[in-house]
Every structure is written in C-alpha cells, then in structure tokens.
Structure 1
Amino acid sequence: MLLAVTLEAEASAVIDQLNALGRPSFEDVGHERARAGFEEMPPAGEFVEIATTEDRTVPGPDGNDIAVRIYRPGEGAATADDSGTLGCLVYFHGGGWVVGSIQTHDRTCRSLTMLAGVVTVSADYRLAPEHRFPAAIDDCCAATQWVVDHAGELGVDPARVAVGGDSAGGNLAAAVALKCRDGAAAGEACSQPALQVLVYPVTDFERNTPSMIANAEGYLLTRSTMTWFDDHYCPPSERSNPYAAPLAVGDPAGAAPALVIVAGHDPLRDEGVAYAHQLADAGVPTTLIEYPGQFHGFFGMTRFLSQAREAQELTASILRRELAPAG
C-alpha cells in the first residue's frame, strides 16, 4: 500500500522546475534524439575532486569493446588494507537501457568514490534498441569479471568488489548478482560480488502496480516512458527471464548482500520493495531504505536535494562496511 506522503519541499521545487520546461518525452522524439538530449542536460550532481580518472576500453563478450572510466580516491581511503589495496564498486548507469552513459553519471561516481573510499569502475554497456537483451547484462558481467581478473593492476581486492547502479543500472546490477550466483556457462559467469547496490531498480515488467498507477505522470519518470524503455530493451518472450526481470527469479537465495533504495513518488517503487522483500525472505542480507518524499532520479541530484546527499552518504557507509579489509 502506498503511503499518502507529499513530495519533500526541495523535491517539489525541482519537479516544478522540470515540469515547467515542457520538454518533449523520450517516446515523442525517438531514441537518438532522446540520447542526445539526455547527454546535454546540465549536471544535477555536485562536482567532487578525486585523485585520478582513467578512460579505457575492455573486451566485451561479443567481440565488442566496453568503455570504462576508472575513478580512484585519494590516499588513506577507508577501504584500503595495510598494503593500500582497495575495495571496488563496478557501476552501471541508469537510463532505461536506452539513454545514459559514463558521462551522464560521472558526478555520482565521483561522489561515491570519495565518500566510500573505493575504486569505482563505471561501465558503458551497449544500449537498446540497437542492442537488445541480453547485450547489456552480458557487457556488465564482462566488465565485472574484467575488474576481478585485473584486480592487481587496479590495486583492488578481487574479494571486495561490489556491483551497483540506478534504475536500469540497478536492474543490471541485480542481474549480474543473479548470474554470478547461478554460475552461468564459462565466459558468461562473473565472480560473486561482495554487495549489490540497487538504487530504485527495475525488477519487473509489470506496469500496473499501485506505485506505477499513482505516479504515472508528473514525477520525471512516467509510466508511458517506462513502457517505451521496456519495448526497446526486452522482447515479450524474455520478460520472465530473471536476468531481464530479477523479480521473476522466485528464489534469489545465495545472491550477494543487497542495499535497495527506493523513492515514494517513483513508478518503480513497488517492484524495488518487492525485490528487497524477496531477497530478505530468501535469507539474503538486505537493507531497504525508502525516501517517501522523493522521486525517480533524485539520487544523483546533490546540487539541489539534501536527501540526495544523505542517500549517497548512506550508500557509501554501507559500501565501507561491506568492503572493509578483512580483520
């Protein structure tokens, strides 16, 4: 049941400003213009200085290259052991599997790198509709395994690697955790992550949940846009595949511990909550945090929302705990 909670004051001001712009919807302009427009949006996150960034490409699963950006925190990072080896977060950006990139989520990755004291590796997986399911999840598994395989080069502990993402990126992080749990065929499997960070994740293709109906319009992500994303990414025949819809797994026992963050005025709220409960019921250590007065997309808006900063700090605290050196 949805709580009758109004938008938090800062969130209401941001939503009013965004709605006043009268921008066309993604479905009205098509995926190419939607991508360009998403890239051109002014950053909503604060810029955080970090020690270094490095852009490079790593091998993909289908002969493709995957662009990654590697973020390093300063000396004395919280997750460094006595040798200076760090924990790592492999991050997958949101954008409905259709829009978004390393660049659109650069400020979120910078912030989490410094707050958590981890190396962050942001992966630019292939986008739909040119590359439909399972291309994105295959790329994310490949990027995660590359981090594990090159842990020494990166200065990270292969046993202390987390996966995470927001929205569609949260979907991909959950799918990576399941695929690793399942021990998929050689060349597809990823080493089991130490934590999965799921920020308002897509976990299902059901578009008639109470939160989807209640928040169908007016809160940045709409029901019609979500359906448009679905149709671009995943054919109906695959929508019960748990690597596309993690909630369909039924029994996620043995998956990595999870942090799930949801927003009250988000069409995706109910499926995020449902997946958190499914994980917990299966014995997976799970922390569910809800921001009742927030909307989809708030996590990265640290320039405007104090609760975005709070959510990032909370995420970082759990990353520090779960990726702390042994002993």
Structure 2
Amino acid sequence: MNQLPLSLAELRALTLIVGHRSFRKAADELGLSASTLSHMMRTLEANLGVRLLNRTTRSVAPTAAGERLVTRLAPMLREFELAVEEVNQFRDLPSGTLRISASEPAARLLMDAILPAFLTRFAQMSVDLVTDGRLVDIVADGFDAGIRLGESVPQDMIAVRLGADTRFLAVASPTYLQEHPAPLTPDDLRHHQCIGIRLPSGKPYRWEFEKHGQSATLDVSGNLTLDNAEIMADAAARGLGIAYVPEQTALRYLSSRQLVAVLEDWCPAIPGLFLYYPGHRHVPWGLRALIEVIRDTGALSAAGAWASEAETAGQGD
C-alpha cells in the first residue's frame, strides 16, 4: 500500500476544526493563523484525494469522510498524547502547556498568588488561561481543567476545593437607600430598581434567596442590565439601584461604605470555587504540579468525596 504523506499536525488540526466547528477557534488553540490552517486542510485533502470539510463564509462542518476520519483518529490521538505525557514524567520537572478554563473571579484568584508561584517553581511550564462566563465543555474544547463555583461543576468530574465558601449579596448605596426604604424580604425587590444580570447565554439571571429553608427566586426589574459583577457593583455605588454580586466583589465597596448589604439574612453561603478535571483521563503531570502548588499556598482544602477521588486518582497513576 502506498504511504500517504500525512502529518500528525494536520490530523490534529482537523480534529480541532471539527470539534470547534470553527477555523478561527482551532487556529487560536494551535497558535496559527486561520489562513495557514486553511492551507493545511487543503493540503491534507489533496493528499487524501477526498474532501473532508464543507466550508461556507459562516461555518465549517465535516463531510461524511471527514466525520469518519475524525472518529477513527480521536482515540489514536489521545493515546499519542498519553504516550508523550508518560515520557514527560521522566524529566526532572514537567514541561508543556496547561490549558485552563475559568470564570473571571477564578482567574483573578489564580493570578493573585497561585500562578506566580507555579510558574516560578516550574519554569518550563506554560499556562493558557481562558476566561469565559459560559460553563464550557472542557473535554470537547481541549482544556486540561476548569475552575467554577461548586454548584456549576459537572458531576462526572473530579473536583477539589479552591478556597472557602462564598455567597452573593444584594447591595445598594446609602444614597439610594435614603430615597428608597431598604427591602425586608425578597418580594420587596419588586418595588425597587434592580440592576439586572445578563448571562453569557443572553438570558437574564433570576435572583435566588434562602432563609430558614424558605427559598425565593425572582425575575427582578430595573432600567439597567449588565454582564460584569464589578461594573454592577460600581453602578450600585453610583446610586443606580440594587445589585446582586459575589461577596468578594462587594467587599471593597462595603468597607469604604460606598455600598450597604440588604437582605443579608436571605443570602446564605454556597460552595465556593473548585478546580475540576475529567476522571476518565490520565492526569497531566503539569496539572498535578498545579494542584501541588495550590495545596502549598493554602488555597486548597478537602472537598468531601470529590477531593478524596482526586487524591486517589493522583496516587494511582
């Protein structure tokens, strides 16, 4: 049988394009230009003598041949990555790139102390930290790990706690509260200007409260809707209404008395940030090193059964 002049880089690029359904996203992950990636695919198709991708100005999708090839390639590419990772562990220190998906608050927490210590200790490692308000599929999108609030972590993931419990607070400026009596129950918010939260999906976020087992979920109303917690807190400090933001975001404004918490007894603690990763895959050495740094900096604590699973997975490899 004639040997085809195929390259691993071309085949991996094809799987990324099909996975993302986008040349741009695949090119960004590979660190290439979209035009270079397009040329690679034309070369691959020419060498195989078959069209693999259907392209339009707005989208890209695999042909039947392309779908079949990617389906067969996926397990082989995973085995290749695993083989490289196993060889990597014979080095004195881990090397390579660790891809992490995180919310903006989680990214700030990492940047505060964890990543500087990690990159100093493991200088041959690189970190590709992508902030996104959406809860992305870290496996499909090619991430090694994600960081989100505990309630958002998929149950099929291994997760370890990254910090203490947190909560959301309803806050308003003293000036606003001078003109509008402070709400005593969540239902009172219906008579206030509330600064709405726009989710990454485009849907408005419903404010959630709980007290002594009694819960309330509200579609609040107001003339301002935002999608960033810091800007929401700033808007509330300017007297534009009541905002519902993470306590960590509100602390600076509360300490300077620019904001006052309302309905505080209706704002219980919820599980804080967790670092999570797939349990069915080999744990990259670089990710283990990051967890080691998190533990050493004191940011990591036990997280019940999930944390126990993480420890077991780390010892078993």
Query: Which bin holds the TM-score, normalised by the shorter protein?
Result: under 0.3
Quick check: which one's helix share is greater? 2
Q: State the TM-score, normalizing by the size of structure 1.
A: 0.27
Q: State the TM-score, normalizing by the size of structure 2.
A: 0.28
